[in-house]
Homo-oligomer: A and B are copies of this chain.
Amino acid sequence: MDGEGAMLRVTVRGFALDEVSKSPIVLLQPVGREEVMPIWIGPSEASSIALSLSGEQYDRPLTHDLLRLVLDGLAVQHQRTEIVRLENNTFFARVLLRQRNDYVSVDCRPSDGIAVALRTRAEIFVDKELFEAQKQIIRPREEGELEES
């Protein structure tokens, strides 16, 4: 139950839109739970995540596709993406990579960590204490917005 250890596996439940800033919000939902954790992200990261969820692909690799191609080319396994903490209104994440017996952890924005994980099929985790502090219930109206974006 300590901060560093306990993690919840999440999936991308969908998107919402910040009504004031018009910034996209990605909603992460732990497996088997009803609540979601909202994370404010940039518009191009949101479209990259949405595109990956849709199963479609552009003819040419987006930046997150390039990252996946680089990992593939180097035979690096993307083990997981972790969203680890919130500091000054900024979420911090990391991608955990493995190449043979080397393990590398790289600091990233949650949006990038999620966008890459959807392409490498790596699992996404959220620190349990962070989730419990940030969780929200989805209201029907937000679900509607979610489908529009």
Instruction: Please encode chain A, from 47 to 66, with 1 for each CB lying within 8 Å of some chain B CB and 0 for all others.
Output: 00000000000011111101
Number of interface residues of A (CB under 8 A): 31
Report which of B61, B67, B70, B115 forms a contact with A109, defined as CB distance below 8 A. Answer: B61
Q: Do B70 and A106 touch (CB < 8 A)?
A: yes
**How many chain copies?**
2
Q: Do A109 and B74 touch (CB < 8 A)?
A: no
Q: Do A61 and B108 touch (CB < 8 A)?
A: yes
Instruction: Provide the main secondary structure of the chain A interface.
Output: mixed
Instruction: Knowing A44-B44, A74-B74, A74-B99 are in contact, say whether A63-B67 is a contact too (CB < 8 A).
Output: yes
Q: Which residues of A contact B (CB under 8 A)?
A: 42, 44-45, 59-64, 66-67, 69-71, 73-74, 76, 90, 95, 97, 99, 102, 104-109, 112, 115-116
